[in-house]
Structure 1
Amino acid sequence: MNTTALVTGASSGIGVEFARQLAARGHDLVLVARSVGRLESLAEELRKAHGVRAEVVGQDLAAPDAASRVAAEVAARGLTVDLLVNNAGFGTGGRFEEIPAQREHDELMVNVVSLVGLTHAFVPGMIARGGGAVVNVGSIAGFHISPYIATYAASKAFVLNFSLALWSEFRGRGVKVLAVAPGPVETAFFEVMGTRAAAIGARMNTAERVVRSALRALDRDRGYVVPGLSNFGMAHLMPRRPRKLNALIARMITKGVATASSGVTGDTAAGAA
């Protein structure tokens, strides 16, 4: 019997690539995003290419009850989630006081609240069955203090620490947890943010390579992975103390975001930088 993977933000970018690579591994899929038309096209592609079951659930993950709605829809279709991929997310950039407060509220709902809610919804069943996995897509920004992308970076720091805490908590209980912390990825993420300055001049990775690295790390139960050697260095070589000095240095590095972006809004990107 095939295992079932649920992928959020599956309408573009990293989410599409997770769906394709998981289908190639033989997983049935539940694809979740707002863009139902894109999801239906992807589902049909996966059914034809790999003979897997692919279900579509349209849901805005910024809604307060998003996680419970998704869980209820999954249960109504008689599905059991064995692998949860919390991929959906988007970023805001610019001077904090110029970014619409509602946009940042929605950002936290998608990046943090729905991620935790879906984990709560599906992990108990995994533990009861003695097996399962959760993949949370974070960002290299989660390792750093990042002026001008403050809310986004803080949300991804939460994803990293939350994931590693659960990875430790669930060891020996059959459930794997992985945080994926990519650097800039060639997706719609930067168009949604409104500027490519948030890439800080780093080399763009591809969604295909990021997902391949993530699934390899999940197989090895690594806890977290930073795809790409240069990104790994950026994540780990900068000293963690003193924090105030790091914050001042970071402001010089990220100041281009402030001039290039004013917190513009857009559709939720299915990827993370």
Structure 2
Amino acid sequence: MSEHAMLSLNGVGLTIGGARILHEVTLDVTHGEMLGVIGPNGAGKTTLFNVVSGLLAPTAGTVELDGQDVTKEPIHRRAALGLGRTFQTSSVFGALSVLENVRLAAQAREGRAASVFRVPRDSDAATRRAREALEEVDLGHRADAEASGLAHGEKRKLEIAMLIATEPKLILLDEPMAGVGSGDVPALSEVIRRLHKGGRTVLMVEHHMEVVLGLVDRVAVMHHGELLACDTPEAVMADPTVQSAYLGETV
């Protein structure tokens, strides 16, 4: 494990019913780095995120978060250690306001019982943290709106605000641009860039290559469950092996 790694994957493998899903994935992600994870459909990208976040247990290798072995730790324990994640499909409480969604996340971080019926107060620490998170993602003006009424791009921002409110060390973004209209991509990209500039470590699976290449420090390429390459965007895109793996897909 690298001394400065926020996340270390050491020979991670996953076999289900005799089928090899991941094989010998070894990767270090340093503190404050933004890493893009790309690959053809079925390459194992989301499965890798599931192993890192604890949804799936690897059948080989280890997962270390900020120097701690979390290979056998459940999801809530990894969250307590600073891991946060978004998913491909939106997951907000539509009947609650934008502020209430983020306030609940902030309360969960503080370990207090979260009451959806209590009126938010500006003097409440969780409410203050929620408002700060909403400002960071440019949703402060929508704090009182019902979450179900947000546009899809705004819901993505809300999910990120909910993560910010939990003060994560490591953020996993699983296809944050999925379903987002092309007109909303630049603004959402800027929100993700702020996550990085704020010193957070970010891993992002994304099919929009222009988004990945414009944001990340390094790119990890998955192919048939293996780590094919991991380097700067320029080096990876010029790699003949990577280009071969993407035959028939836009790189």
TM range (shorter): 0.3 to 0.5
Q: By percentage of residues, which structure has more helix?
A: 1
Determine which structure has the larger strand proportion and give its number: 2
TM-score (norm: length of structure 1): 0.31
